[in-house]
Amino acid sequence: MTEDQKNIVSVRSLTKAYGATAVLKGIDFSVARGEIHALLGGNGAGKSTLIRIITGTATKDGGELFFRDASGNLLSETDGRLKVAVVHQELALLPHLTVAENIALPHFRKGSRLYDRRLATRQAHDALSMIDRDFAAVALNRLVGDLSLHEGQMVEIARALSSGAELILLDEPTANLTAIETERLFGVLRRLARDNGLSVVFVSHRMKEIRQIANVCSIIRDGRTVVKSVPTGDLTDRAIVEHMGQAHVMAAPRAIRVAQQSMAGEPLTITEDGFSVVLQPGTILGVAGAPAGPETLIAALVGAAHAKRWTVTRAGWPARFRSPHQAARLGAGFVTGDRAHRGILHSLPIIDNVLASRRVTRGSLFARKHEGVECLDLMQALKVKAGSLWHLPNTLSGGTQQKLLLARWLNLPSRLLVLEEPTRGVDIGTKREIYQLIRDMAATGTAIVWWSTENAELLEVCDRVLAFDTEGRSSGVIERDQLSEDRLATLTGMAA
């Protein structure tokens, strides 16, 4: 069998443009059978477009795309795609169907089989149990629309694993998983690759995870392949970053003006049944642990829940916000980690996405001339490249869309900014920019609450960390001089 015949998919000189914008400019990429292959590149490099072409949801403009069966024989593009499953960075589940129905869909997609509820439930349980057995035991009959982002991520991965595909493409699959769930997923992928010949394309910006799971990597930059099928161990982290073109990415410019706080000297006290944390102005409080605890805290902080578990004490604020609208009007901002469904306003142009928070806090409905100028200044300072402020946000990469969510709260007098996985799915250069933006906001007196599933991120950014155990109970606060991955692992009950 030739080298080409060992590849389940091969791409040569692939090109793709959207209007006048060339996204892929001659990509070469191949994945061997039984290989776990990391596809790396900065936001906007072309990774998601390449995945869409391989899966058939986008058409190529030029170049060649080949699929092969287990014997190395060429398949047609259509037949080949039937053996491909994908987990996109933004989830693609059907909210009106149950968990079991969503996972079972690939087994009934041709319409040649009647839906068998008992069979579907068994298949869904087996697939979901590979990632989280406890969740599988209680979730199968729940509507997907009622799930959290974290739970939806597990369902989408389970659907891909149960599909019978020979090639699975995972675009930031661990962004909302705990460390334990991530390691369990990696174990499943290694076993399927070794025993069943499953091929995996793994897209991630988390270097630690890349080295844990991928034995081969390719790097694309500005729509071109710069590294093709090199053993991951042959490249240092620095070399990977340099190939991505991000070794010298500067932090966000200090020219961005962050509004001064009119009541910045007053602390906030966050209380839960006698346990309390005092959050001084300018403090960055990290939040660590499985989603149950952090999600409950965040919902209380931004007025999204009326549970009596948490209260926030601050002069001029109620003990509990009645709604997110009230929270925003009183200076409590929120950046969601679910930009696709709860963050980006897909039907509105970029300018309205950037100005969305001031629409709420100031009650204005239309963009005034000076706001257009301010929006353009923010985008230039944040290095957001767009053809026009009036283009839709889906013309931007995922990492760039994340910048839009942060831009909403710049130049607004926020007393508290709550961040839910703010660097989800963004490259290392954009992460550095976001880190500096948050530090700049804290420096003006804004209190920051930052939930991240990346312990290394919490160690780099936060002044102290509030930890939750696996049952969602607060388990302690770790001060800066005590912070370590081992300490976080102990208090959260999760692997570092």
Query: Residue 60: its pLDDT value, please?
Result: 92
pLDDT in tens, 59-70: 999 999 988 877
Pairing between β-strand 7-18 and β-strand 21-32 as defined by DSSP bridges = antiparallel
DSSP state of 417: E
Strand partners, 125: none
The conformational region for residue 117 under phi > 0 = left, psi -120 to 50 = alpha, else beta, is alpha
Q: Per-residue confidence at 260, pLDDT binned at 50, 70, 90?
A: very low
pLDDT band at 253 (very low <50, low <70, confident <90, very high): very low
Confirm if 491 and 484 have CB atoms less than 8 A apart: no
Most confident of 134-143, 156-165, 364-373, 400-409: 134-143
| Residue 52 in this model has a pLDDT that exceeds 80 | yes
What ranges in 382-452 are assigned the alpha helix state H?
A: 398-407, 428-443
Q: Which two tokens stand for residue 486?
A: 């081992």
Average pLDDT on 347-369 reads 75
Q: In this model, does residue 216 exceed pLDDT 90?
A: yes
Q: Is the pLDDT assigned to residue 41 strictly greater than 50?
A: yes
pTM for the structure as a whole: 0.69
What Rg, from alpha-carbon coordinates, does the chain have? 23
The whole-number pLDDT of residue 31 equals 93
CATH superfamily of 3-244: P-loop containing nucleotide triphosphate hydrolases (3.40.50.300)
Mean of pLDDT values over 147-165 = 82
* Distance separating alpha carbons of residues 239 and 227, to the nearest angstrom: 11
For the stretch 198-207, pLDDT in tens is 899 999 888 8
Instruction: Name the DSSP class of 143.
Output: B
Q: 254: pLDDT confidence band, cut at 50, 70 and 90? A: very low
Q: Name the burial class of residue 430, with classes exposed (0-12), middle (13-18) and buried (19+) by CB atoms within 10 angstroms of its CB.
A: buried
Q: Which CATH class is domain 268-492?
A: alpha beta
Higher pLDDT, 154 or 364: 154
Given a contact cutoff of 8 angstroms between Cβ atoms, the answer to whether 483 and 463 are in contact is no
Percent of the chain scored above 70 by pLDDT?
Answer: 89
Whole-number pLDDT of residue 453? 82
Lowest-confidence pick of 246-260, 408-422, 448-462, 482-496: 246-260
Q: How sure is the predictor about 295, in pLDDT bands with cuts at 50, 70 and 90?
A: confident
Q: Kindly report, residue by residue over 390-421, the tens digit of the pLDDT.
A: 888 887 777 778 888 888 887 777 888 999 98
Q: From 311, 407, 398, 303, select the one nearest 352 (Cα to Cα).
A: 407
The yes-or-no verdict on residue 375 having pLDDT over 90 is: no
Intrachain domains 3-244 and 268-492 with the same fold: yes
Which tokens go with 418?
A: 């709550």
Enumerate the domain spans of the chain: 3-244, 268-492
Tell me what pLDDT residue 109 has: 59
179-199 burial: b if 16+ Cβ within 10 Å, else e: bbbbbbbbebbbebbeeeebb
pLDDT confidence of residue 63 = 93
Which one is predicted more confidently, 255 or 442? Answer: 442
Residue 213 has pLDDT above 80, yes or no: yes
Reported confidence tier of residue 27, pLDDT bands at 50, 70, 90: very high
Distance CA 227, CA 232 (A): 11
Once rounded to an integer, what is the mean pLDDT over residues 277-304? 87
Each residue's pLDDT tens digit, 94-149: 889 999 988 887 776 555 556 678 888 888 898 888 888 888 889 899 998 888 77
